[in-house]
Amino acid sequence: MLAKRLILVLLWLLVSLVLVPQTWSKGNALTVEREMADLIKEAYAGYDDVVVKVDRLPRQLRETGKIEGIDVVRPPEPGRPGLALVEYRGSGGKRQSSYVAFRTQTRKMLFYVKRNMAKGEVVEHADVVGKESYVTGKAYQYPDSITDLQGKILKKDVQAGTLLTNLLVEDRQVIKRGQTVTVVAQNRRLTVQTLGKAVQPGRRGELIKVKSLASEQELQGRVLDSGTVVVTF
């Protein structure tokens, strides 16, 4: 009976010395990670639409959990995590610092096509559905709104459910080859307007060649809209 009690006492001591510290360490690590994520979010982004994911915490930082300061050394980039320098109190109250890698995810409305669509088709409002999600990397590769997609054309065939990015769509050609256009030639002091013929097709913002109907001179200008090309000289 006495031996049985001794065994139970020994088991209790083992649980106290081994299992309890491990549980505390894991819980403390989660607390530290949350605190660190909040600090990184404040330093890096400053708004609530960003989620920070810490890749790995150093053992000393997991165990102490007393963060005193944090500096973002390098913001995250596509394919490469960010880097933060974390200052904390280590064992014995000694001040220490460690580099910690982290990644960010941004909350954004993403847009998907509802049906199979072919290359060259025009994207309309009814073809797209939006779903809010968190994205990793640069958010600018995704359209900001359905309005940004409407009227653009697909650069390749896509299946229903495909996530639309800015790389999958492009503006329609607003000027056709051979079209008569208004050519506006301007500099800081003078603006001259004449008629011309488009030598090349073009989208809004593109550089194309046009030929003046009056002088037959070939010029290069930027497409302003469906009937205007601006030449700067």
DSSP type of residue 168: T
**Lowest-confidence segment of 81-85, 163-167, 227-231 by average pLDDT:** 81-85
Confidence grade of residue 118 (pLDDT, cut at 50, 70, 90): very high
Average pLDDT, the chain: 79
Confidence grade of residue 33 (pLDDT, cut at 50, 70, 90): low
**Lowest-confidence segment of 4-13, 40-49, 159-168 by average pLDDT:** 4-13
Top pLDDT among 198 and 11 is at: 198
CB count in 10 Å sphere of residue 183: 23
Ordered by where they begin, the domains of the chain are 27-106 (no CATH), 107-170 (3.90.1210.10), 173-232 (2.30.30.760)
Q: Is the pLDDT of residue 115 over 60?
A: yes
State both tokens at 142.
């995704």
- The structure tokens 């996530």 sit at 163
DSSP type of residue 1: -
Burial of 190 (0-12, 13-18, 19+ CB in 10 A): exposed
pTM, rounded to two decimals: 0.56
CB count in 10 Å sphere of residue 116: 12
